[in-house]
Amino acid sequence: MSALAQRPDDAPVTSGWDRATNILCVRLDNLGDVLMTTPALRALKHSAAGRRITLLCSPAGARLAPHLPSVDAAIAYDAPWVKNLRTADPAPDLAMIEQLRAGGFDAAAIFTVYSQSALPAALMCRLAGIPRVLAHARENPYQLLSDWTKDDVPMDGGRHETRRQLDLVASIGARPPAEGLEFTVRPADREAMRGKLAARGIADLASCIVVHPGASAPSRRYPPELFARVVRELSATAPVVLTGDAGERPLAEHVDVLAGRCATDMAGELSLGELGALLADAAVLVSNNSGPVHLAAAVGTPVADLYALTNPQHAPWGVEHRLLNRDVPCKYCYRSVCPEGHHACLAGVDPAVVVQAAHELLAWRRRACAATQAA
């Protein structure tokens, strides 16, 4: 099949993909990016009987593996073309090529955001002897990719990241039985989470609002003093739980102090599985656009998303939400640090607007729960 050919919706899988039973899926960036790729992973998993999916991902992405029913195994890898703290020593890369070769993969699908290149991963797959490799590419990859989709529309036309990956696998005939994000909440994680919250005096999780003030990129963080005003207002009507990983403890503590200690600070106290369980049981998430937003979407919890205008592709997928930002001339900068230094797309959002969005979503959640119970 020509790389640029258009495949009709009912066209059969070609180029050997229908016979591929051991597929490597490459997604090397952040946890949220892996979550947004799960519908495409499901599509590959279910498009042939007995198919095995192995996820090559960052250590952060690998933490998701026990919660992803479409993933059979995960390999953690800090790739040198992705931001991380590893050294320039090529030994881990050579070892990874040999590990992939030993895996006997008969196909690979490389998933990238619009601003990334798939070609370094494609070269690794070629050196590992994987015969069929699928990815987006801006330039002709020649023999690095057996199947590819031209990546030539500025900012990917604003297409959602999840749709981008679904369209990629659809080009080789793979379509999922459902397009929602995947994350399975394990009973043990829910029990442990509820025990931790009960010890802090919170038993009615269904009325809780979770607030996540952190984000990996500084350009995507709502100012802590504004988050504190949001927390203070919300806590007047509902229990508020602050979350974050261990590295975000000082930020959550800062927000909690500024808010007058009116929230329950659980930053650094929950495992990923427990955080997923908390988001599934809570009423609403208020968060910067970060991994927990996509985790909430995967478990069906509405999100008030403080969405920095760094790019247009990563809004919550398949869940009720409100995108909160201020339109600015410098939007869609694709930068992890605000190049203008003013953070106006987030700093310009009035806390009262955030509180209103959270209350709207609380009302929506209550209506949805009432409708479910009535049915």
Closest Cα partner for 26 from 128, 94, 150?
128
Give dist(CA 255, CA 227) in Å, integer.
7
Q: Which residue shows structure tokens 């790019």?
A: 311
Q: What is the DSSP letter of 172?
A: T
Q: Which residue shows structure tokens 């495992």?
A: 271
Query: CB count, 10 Å around CB of 85?
Result: 5
pLDDT of residue 5: 35
pLDDT of residue 10: 40
pLDDT of residue 15: 65
Give dist(CA 364, CA 373) in Å, integer.
14
How much is the average pLDDT of 274-296?
97
Provide φ and ψ at 233, rounded to 5°. Answer: -70, -45
How much is the average pLDDT of 62-80?
97
Q: Which residue shows structure tokens 């919660």?
A: 67
35 or 204: which leads in pLDDT: 35
Best-predicted range by mean pLDDT among 71-80, 84-93, 214-223?
71-80
Beta strand 264-265 with 284-288: parallel, antiparallel or unpaired? Answer: unpaired
Measured on CA atoms in the order 365, 366, 369, 375, is the torsion positive or negative? negative
Asked whether the beta carbons of 200 and 266 are under 8 A apart, the reply is: yes
Interior CA angle at 84 toward 285 and 168, to 5°? 65
pLDDT bin (cut points 50, 70, 90) of residue 368 is: confident
Beta strand 284-288 with 22-27: parallel, antiparallel or unpaired? Answer: unpaired
What do you get for the CA distance between the two ends of the chain, in Å? Answer: 48
Judge whether residue 8 has pLDDT over 80: no
Asked whether the beta carbons of 302 and 320 are under 8 A apart, the reply is: yes
pLDDT of residue 12: 41
Asked whether the beta carbons of 339 and 308 are under 8 A apart, the reply is: no
Judge whether residue 9 has pLDDT over 90: no
127-179 pLDDT tens trace: 999 999 999 999 999 999 999 999 988 888 899 999 999 999 999 999 999 99
Provide φ and ψ at 136, rounded to 5°. Answer: -80, 150
Mean pLDDT of the chain: 93
pLDDT of residue 374: 82
311-361 pLDDT tens trace: 889 999 999 999 999 999 999 898 899 998 898 999 999 999 999 999 999
Task: Tell me the two tokens of residue 129.
Answer: 């002897």
Asked whether the beta carbons of 340 and 356 are under 8 A apart, the reply is: no
